[in-house]
Structure 1
Amino acid sequence: MASAYNRWSRPEVYPLMVALGGVVGLCAFQLVRNICSNPDVRVNKQKRSEGVFDNFEEGKNYKEHSIRKFLRNRPPEVMPSVNKFFSEPKEKHN
């Protein structure tokens, strides 16, 4: 057990552990979100017995979550200044 800890406790491995921890956190968040609020997922027996139902308002509320509303009118760029630097033509100096 000590050799495994010494192998994975090196400073070079920390960024990998942070990235994997973030991915696992995002997956867990999406799983809990789907189980708790997705209108197509029915966990308890009362909702499962309903079969197919047409509740379009609940589906719309699930799809239009707060992050989507926040990002709707923003440009789809992660780093706008870097994109402008590489995409806009350079001015000619005479």
Structure 2
Amino acid sequence: MPTLVEVRDYLGVDWVDEATDRRINGLISVADSFMVGSLGVGYPGDDPRVKELSLIIIGQLYDNTDPIAKVSNSIQKMVDDMSLQIRLEMRGDGIEV
């Protein structure tokens, strides 16, 4: 999982702001939960592909915060995927992801 500094660099955030850091930390948490839902508990967090995918997810969520703007296809797909993951995890069928 990328660090706060790595995400700030990826996003081009070159100012220090507590609210922005809270937002980024929240997005790191969302990306981590997405990885658990997608890859399973104990996913290889040090794999560079996982880090890059996490940065892409965080970047998409960070850049698309305008509630009026049309949601891009990639964001809609990500929302659909996350929703499906959560629904499957809530089924409670004893299968650990």
Please report the TM-score for the alignment, with normalisation by the length of structure 1. Answer: 0.29
Please report the TM-score for the alignment, with normalisation by the length of structure 2. Answer: 0.29
